[in-house]
Structure 1
């Protein structure tokens, strides 16, 4: 792209710095943010925002970073927000991340140096097929990398630096939002939408280069609590009804060839047990329920209840309780009312020389909930792959394309309004 012809991207430099800061969120914490260490990265982001010339960057008590790239046009243009999250997944360690750059990738297996058993092959990572000649960043084998979503942070920061340095480029007011606790579903719990003051947003938290995501799962959390009958094991015949065994039986009756993460793809939803604990007297099972269709999501709840009812018939002295809580809903319901969000993102991606790909997310983003609290917010690519695991990776060149896309989105909104 002509406007980036002489620009030295900073996304990689920033990214390598951010991933070394441990920002794991904690689903068992009751605080906001769930881990105070997320603020360590927030403070660094504020410092960098101030350094590039943004004057209002701030980190609030709840761990949110807010900042503004001022408008350079006299037009009345909708205020656009770009958002990424600071936390990394609790599923895999993010402590002492050692990033490794595999330069000029040529299709070979990538052996991660601190654990030779961690070998990244194209057959397991099909998108590597499109990275020949690019530079691949991985972790070293004993942690995740943190590309989800520190790649997004670095890209937004680089785009902001570029826009501040090029006031001749016409764009409306840009708001930046960096959130904590996205990985545990609390990313927007304490966000101040009025203070943010944006009309529309884009999360930068997607996968393959060029992807634009306008649809997420709808998501519920479910918990079954079982009250069994305890007695001395030496005298338990005809008397004991173990809550642990009841829980195990319920899990064993879940569908295995459908409605499970390991047997579904595309637009198929699932019922997924994620935690189980207990004793003879009481046990609990936690589930996540997912589907793109809200009616089907309710069907998953009904299936879970029917399984529990059937199992409990064999334990007449025991009982159970099923609790279901809404987590987020499919953002497509909101985004379909604002087609320009996707239209302008497609134009922006095309201007970078990449073919845009409209996709659905088998998961959720902060944009899922932001869309329902007043900020319609699709998701664009950050280039992150194989997230939440030790073989997570990102391409330097894809990160740079994401920076270009963010800038172009800002310019397109000014041009079209």
Structure 2
């Protein structure tokens, strides 16, 4: 298809600013092309399709080349900013613009803020991949390499990508081959059968392992309250967890359950309130301090079961990120938020699947650190948790609305079978 005009609002031709943009990928079945057209209209622009080639096979991409016009530079800048996130690239953009900063943690005002999609920049006429992809970061160029870096990690002398030119974003598109990462639709639904979601999660876990990538679990204390400690401990013991990311509360209540048989003072065997049980979580924290830390409690034989016990015994790394409301906290809990974020990010490298278990705070934080091609399965009785993840840019999230203890029990049974 060539030179087909779709939309031209009325404003003087001689006042228009013009750009030629191109996009490539599964533009139709991923609904990207209609979003491109809608974006032009919403930004008070007009477009003229100069070329459109439809991919004729599963693997062949479609190609779009179009002219866009806006009445002002500000509107063109806004339009290009939106189109960039949809995979559009100005044809005559040239190399990415770089600016050397003079102060630590201070980027130029027009620095490019990243998305979680695959990104490339053009240097010396060549497109190069940006490493350590994540949302809400800058792009720093060192030699002929580029990587995402948070504002707080910028240092004087760093060369930062600015503006919108010489940047290519490659949004995730619908997988025509329907592999194990795509048959779980990215939606939040309480109607999805738990057994089906568990079976699909198991298939993804096996596929991730075959690809040599990691399975990371993000867990909240509800795992303990709903009886999910034992199946999560089994997952760790059987080698299905490569890193555990959580807060102080998961570890405290897991250790309370292991040492005293209660969770928040409620007896796990019968669900009844233990007399003076409200103090048990503090007793658990004190017990760990008396052993120096969690690893010390395991080594000394004080801690003999539970999620944290299995993590120590099987050398599964864990990060406990502190918060303002923490009791204690445990000696292993990291109260420096920057350090905790950095450790979370480090353990998420080479992850193929992240399973989030009833923790809104830590699930959303983890989603912010992940590139869009890493699948997330978010299990929570509250559908708003998975919805918030998607709304904040983690569109790869599959929401399973159910009791997390039930989900974990079914998951470990399926894996054992």
TM-score by length of 2: 0.26
TM-score by length of 1: 0.26
Greater Rg over alpha carbons, structure:
2
Highest RCO, 1 vs 2 (Cα 8 Å, sep ≥ 6): 1
